[in-house]
Amino acid sequence: MQVKQDPSTSIQIFRNLTIEDQQRLDKQRALIEEYLSVNNYNYETIDGKLHLINDLLEYKVFRSDEKYELQCLGVVFGDALLIKLGLNWQIVKEESVEDPCLVLDGTSIVLFPLTAISKRIENNEEVDVFDLFDGFIDTVAEMKRKGY
C-alpha cells in the first residue's frame, strides 16, 4: 500500500486490486468486448483497443448520460495505456471514495482513465481517442522527465 499527498492536501491511499476489484474491471471490459464481433479488431493490441473505442464513440453507441458504459470505455483505454507505459492498475482511496487508477511504479504518476472519456462526453466535448491517448503519453513522459 502506498500513501501519496495530493496537491489539494487530501491523502490518497493506494492498494493492489482485490479479486473483487479485478472482477469489476473484467465486467467493465466484457461490456465493451461485446462489440468485438461487429468488426475484426486485433483487440490485444493498443491499436485494436483504441480503434474499438473510437468506433463506439464515432457511432455514438453510448449516450452522454450512460456514465457506467462510458467508464467501461475508460477501462479499455486504461488497458491500452498500461500496455504502452508499463503501468499497474491499483485502487486509490481518497476520503471515503475508492476508484481504480493506473500507477507508474517508483513514481508519483497516477492516471484516472475511467473518467478520461466519460467526463469529456458528459461535457459534450468531442473525443479523439487517439489524440487523448497521445496526450496521456506526452504528459507521462514530461512528468517522468521532471522526476515525479
pLDDT tens digits along 36-80 = 876 667 889 999 999 999 999 999 999 999 999 999 999 999 999
CATH number, domain containing residue 131: 1.20.120.1090
* pLDDT at position 2 over 70: no
Overall pTM > 0.85: yes
Residue 143 lies in a domain: no
Residue 146 lies in a domain: no
pLDDT tens digits along 93-123 = 988 889 999 999 988 899 999 999 999 999 9
Report how many domains make up the chain. Answer: 1
Contact status, residue 57 vs residue 100, Cβ threshold 8 Å: no
**What's the pLDDT score for residue 84?**
97
Regarding predicted confidence, which is higher, 70 or 9?
70
Q: Which domain holds residue 108?
A: 2-138
Where residue 1 falls among pLDDT bands split at 50, 70, 90?
Answer: very low
Residue 77 lies in a domain: yes
Q: Give the H/E segment covering residue 25.
A: helix 19-33
How far is residue 100's CA from residue 86's CA, in Å, rounded to a whole number?
Answer: 16
Hey, how many other C-beta atoms are within 10 angstroms of the C-beta on 99?
A: 14
String of b and e for 57-90 (b: at least 16 CB within 10 Å)?
Answer: beeeebeeeebebbbbbbbbbbbbbbeebebebb
- Mean pLDDT, residues 74-87: 97
Where residue 3 falls among pLDDT bands split at 50, 70, 90?
Answer: very low
Residue 63 lies in a domain: yes
Residue 147 lies in a domain: no
